[in-house]
Chain A
């Protein structure tokens, strides 16, 4: 049973590494045109075909008792016999690791178009210096406007956090395995909510901002809604993890007094989580201020929107002023929230 599990994991991991190496070799030797690279159906078949071959290769290696990288990672520790006379770079898995890394590195150089030539290009350098210089020579006349805009940003973040907290608070209990895991119905609710929240969280607030700016119009409200959604999903996850590690003792004691379920949660669970909840909430507000800036870039209001307007007109001195204001606010929020979180630990 355990061996079968390890074998499957090895086929997945080592098989994938072999597939990757084979694919790189294939691309280098055939030099396919862009058209062939875009033929999804064909390429998927080639990919899985190679993976199957890789799997067979892994299977053979396993039968031959050759330790692959998968064995090193997934075998139980006692199954690994030490080979003191053999340096790890001389073993099969060592060579596998080194080759895979070197091939991935060279592929990466090409795919990311990394080029020293572009980096040191004269025209490019001059342009970059101009923008950079302007950023360090801010136009302070727009400072009052920038301050008003950043206040808007801070309040967008604040409202998103305030509205998210009660929702996430309720959700956190419904998303905690120790509270919901006891019967099939509640476990169903738990699993469904977790999935929805995971999906919500994995969609960037930037995307939500675009959705909401179409829905309620461009401006701070759209930005607030985007942050709210993301905050609910993130806080519910943070909070529910705290609920999952509460101590059972006080819960048992309050249950033993004959208290109702709601009283048990309120008297035995809440006191244990209230401070870490507060810490996460402050941290979330801090994150939200930074995110609100980014969201402003796509029309979520606040200082981000202002940056977008000035950089569209290449007014770099003005952008410089805004960047300075943002940096200052983020620094203050960051320091304060870290200090408060430390204090309430």
Chain B
């Protein structure tokens, strides 16, 4: 029985414009787990991930990371928390003009002294680490190519390497394959699975395609209009659950 790494309790988030993105969501995440969050666009998935690494401040409830409450942190603690939680994004969000290696090295910014980082000096240890992770996602030979020369799938792999260079304890993935073609989709998901298996890293991932969910997730939770509507094994999501989560007129599409 593995330990619980993250506990989300009655989490609420109301934006300044009055939109209620999360209306009391609770769930636990076990260490080393591949947890997938599904739900329609606007169901609160992205907000949930951004609350976990403090990019957004929740307006209610608690998040316990290794039994420590991480909501309402001050600026410094919030930076420390972010350094312990990696994140990858739908649009990769690499720095286009930087080389692949330098992009991966931005994952080490937290522990690099500000002045050194401004002059682009990173420690040899961090460089080795970054190269090592680029190797892990199979893109080491492109280390000195500019990031904007890469294809979408390759860019997403670089962004995985960037997140890993942080040395995180959890990896958040916000729709990591939503802007990729079906073939590349599987490559990126396979690398995420590899990271999950080989490094034992806990992954929390937002996904759209149920076929991918069944293939990769250990466990799945579903959000609908800011509330948790399903929690369990991905194989147990049948037609009625599908309609419950996505609405009655929804049809499942497959990614091959």
* A residues with CB within 8 A of B: 249-250, 252-260, 262-263, 266-268, 271-272, 274
Contacts and interface: CB of A to CB of B under 8 A. Distances in A.
B89 interface: yes
Contacts of B98: 271
Interface stretch (B1-9, B29-37, B57-65, B102-110): B102-110
B114 interface: yes
A263 B122 CA distance: 13
B80 to A, nearest CB: 7
Interface of B: 53, 55, 79-87, 89, 91-98, 106-107, 109-110, 114, 117-118, 159, 162-163, 166
Contacts of B89: 249, 252-253
B51 to A, nearest CB: 13
Given A256-B53, A259-B110, A262-B114, 15 more contacts: A249-B89, A249-B91, A249-B92, A252-B93, A253-B93, A253-B162, A256-B86, A257-B82, A258-B79, A258-B83, A258-B109, A258-B110, A263-B117, A267-B95, A267-B117
Contacts of A253: 87, 89, 93-94, 106, 159, 162
Given A256-B87, A258-B82, A271 B96 contact: yes
A271 B99 CA distance: 12
A256 B82 contact: yes
B94 to A, nearest CB: 7
A266 B53 CA distance: 21
A268 B82 CA distance: 16
A259 B112 CA distance: 9
A255 B84 CA distance: 12
A268 B94 CA distance: 9
Contacts of A274: 97
A256 B97 CA distance: 19
B95 A255 contact: no
A268 B109 CA distance: 12
Contacts of B83: 257-258
